[in-house]
Structure formats: structure tokens, C-alpha cells
Amino acid sequence: MSGLIRLNSSHLLVRNLVQHSFRSARLISSSQKNRDAATVDLSKKAAATAASAASTTASKKNWVSYGFDYRDETTDRNAMHATFFFSVTFCLVIGGFYWAYLPDPQMRDWAQREAYLELRRREAAGLEPISKDFIDPALIVLPTDEELGDTEIVI
């Protein structure tokens, strides 16, 4: 990681040296600018055409397309606004409501409700909440003391 940082800093050092060397070399022209300028006379019709073209290009000068239409600015903006409106409305708002009100797929609510109902039933019958004989002891087969031998029994 430190090698990458050193490599990046050496790259910046070389770039600064190159820019400084070009900055210190000032190229000065000795020609006079007023003699080099050329003027062109335009007729009134050409001037009007140039002015109208300049006004249309000035309005489109700073337009950057959103990618929906590359020729018409209003069509591009309308398509962009409609796309984002419907995607936000359907995906986020309606999708959020759908996701929030979906039924519980893992049945957590159902299991908790059943547990409360079972506790209420056992309390009403006068039983313990959980029976110590949850499984009938006659069904359980345990090893005898001779079969266990010296095995340590951990309870």
C-alpha cells in the first residue's frame, strides 16, 4: 500500500515538474495584432441569417441531452421527467407499500399467535405452561446401569 502511495506521489512530482518547465518558458510573439486582423463585410441578408443562427445556437449551446432524444431538447426533458416520475412512483412508492403489506413468509407471526393461544388454553385448564412429561415416559427407552458402566452422566 505504501508503494502505491509513493508511486502516486512520484507521478505528481513528475507532472508538476513538467508543468513548471512549460510555465517558465514564455513564448512571446513580436507581430503587431492590429496589422494581422482581417475584416469581412457581410451583406444585410447574410448578417440577418448569421444573427438568427447565432440565436438558435445560443439557446442550444448549454444543452446536454439526458439520453432520451439527442435532437430535441423539449422531447428529451419530457421523456426524462416521465421516466423518472413513473419509476419513482411505481418502484419506490407502490413497491414499498406492496413490500410492507406482504404476508409473513416465514410464519413468525402465526407461530407467536399459536404459542399465546396454547398458553391461554393450558392456564384455563389448570395445567403447567410446559409439562415435565412432554413426551410419554413409557415411550423412552433408557440404558440400564450395567450398560452405562463407568460413563459419566452430565445433567
Q: What is the pLDDT of residues 115-132, one digit of tens each?
A: 999 999 999 999 999 888
Question: Is residue 39 very low, low, confident or very high in pLDDT (cuts 50, 70, 90)?
Answer: low
Q: What cell was used for 155?
A: 445433567
Q: What cell was used for 19?
A: 508543468
Give the model's pLDDT for residue 4: 43
Q: Where are the domains of the chain?
A: 64-127
Q: What is the pLDDT of residues 70-105, one digit of tens each?
A: 999 999 999 999 999 999 888 889 999 999 998 888
Q: How many whole angstroms separate alpha carbon 76 and alpha carbon 65?
A: 7
Contact 129, 122 (CB under 8 A): yes
Q: How many whole angstroms separate alpha carbon 72 and alpha carbon 141?
A: 85
SS3 category, 71: coil
Give the model's pLDDT for residue 3: 47
